[in-house]
Amino acid sequence: MLPIRIISTGKALPAEKISSSELDLRLNKTSGFVKKKSGVDYRYFSSVNDFQSDLAAAALRDAINAAQIHSSSIDLLLSTSAVPDQALPSMACRIMQAAGLPAGISAFDINASCLGFMAGLQLAATLLNSGTYRRIAIVSAEIPSRGLDWSDPESSLIFGDGAAAAIVEIGSETVGCQAYRMETYPEGKTYCEILAGGTRCNPTSGMKDSDFLFHMDGKKVFKLASKLMEGFLDRLFEPLGYNYHEVDLVVPHQASYLSMQHMSRRLGLPQSAIIDIYHSHGNQVSASIPTALHEAMVTGRLTEGAKVLLVGTAAGLTLGGMVLTV
């Protein structure tokens, strides 16, 4: 057990709420097409002038307010977005001022695609327990709407923008991370990609507008993830002496309608044990897990002693899982 306590969570959404029927009109589709294809009722989109780092800062301020702490008590900021707002400097540096964090604290980025927040939470637990820091803020913000290929329904209609944050401290003998596991299978590294954003596609090496768009081979992702997930969960729970059927709450990555539907069956758990915000947010990339965690927090479902499973897949292809007692 690695003691860690989530003292608060926060979230932020951009102003524009877009229903699937509005998207039908925009994309010149027949009524009901987007809802049927995506399973999303509505999602939120940023305007082209919004900064991703401001969205992150709003979520972070929400978490700071909820915790009723002074922002100067935070000594590390981890930014865990999959895609940054710009290549340099790190997003964490760009979030600090807007979130009201004091100059001089430590701040850097973690990138584990859709599982960045979970990786950040595990790192925070080890850093708190090593005594390096005392109170850590973790924030994921994503604006996938800037890089969607609207000609490809499978990899565009499911996404929504947003940000969410958590503030964590050291836990106790009964409050913390019971188990954590992350496994990457690079045979899937081309299944979800954005080719631009770094040295591969730029004005010097050559680029085209489509290099900036997210591309996914959903069938291959689903097939590989399905093949690996059961064994992965067995390995995650192996040291615990109980099975994943016995957790109280599941906070999954809100990957797709199909993945959310399969979650209950795969884990052998009632739908009521699974935080499902997919229909009202879409897939928010790395912001999905903390936004779902925030939903669990504000609806009073993180009850004392509850065993909570965070689980999901990410581009890479990566599988990640964490068992927390809260």
Q: Which of residues 159-218 bind its own copies (CB under 8 A)?
A: 180-187, 189, 192-206, 209, 212, 214
**93 assigned to active site:** no
With binding defined as CB under 8 A, does residue 83 bind its own copies?
yes
| Residues whose CB is less than 8 angstroms from the CB of residue 150 and which lie 6 or more positions away in sequence, other chains included | 27, 156
With binding defined as CB under 8 A, does residue 84 bind its own copies?
yes
Shortest gap between Cβ of 255 and its own copies (angstroms)? 14
Of 42 and 51, which has the nearer Cβ to its own copies? 51
Subset of residues 256 to 285 that bind its own copies, contact rule: CB under 8 A: none
Of 52 and 259, which has the nearer Cβ to its own copies? 52
Sign of the torsion angle spanned by Cα atoms 289, 314, 106, 176:
positive
CA-CA-CA-CA torsion for 278, 114, 299, 260, nearest 10 degrees? 40
Of 109 and 276, which has the nearer Cβ to its own copies? 109
Cis amide linkage into residue 3, ω under 30° from 0: no
With binding defined as CB under 8 A, does residue 89 bind its own copies?
yes
Subset of residues 296 to 325 that bind its own copies, contact rule: CB under 8 A: 314-318
CA distance 81 to 87: 12
CA distance 211 to 190: 13
Catalytic residue among 114, 177, 192, 281: 114
Catalytic residue among 111, 192, 281, 283: 283
**283 assigned to active site:** yes
CA distance 25 to 22: 5
**177 assigned to active site:** no
Single out the residue of 246, 168, 242, 181 nearest to residue 3, CA to CA.
168
Shortest gap between Cβ of 144 and its own copies (angstroms)? 9
Subset of residues 114 to 143 that bind its own copies, contact rule: CB under 8 A: 115-116, 119, 122-123, 125-127, 129-130, 132, 143
H/E run at residue 133: none
List, by residue number, the catalytic residues.
Answer: 114, 253, 283
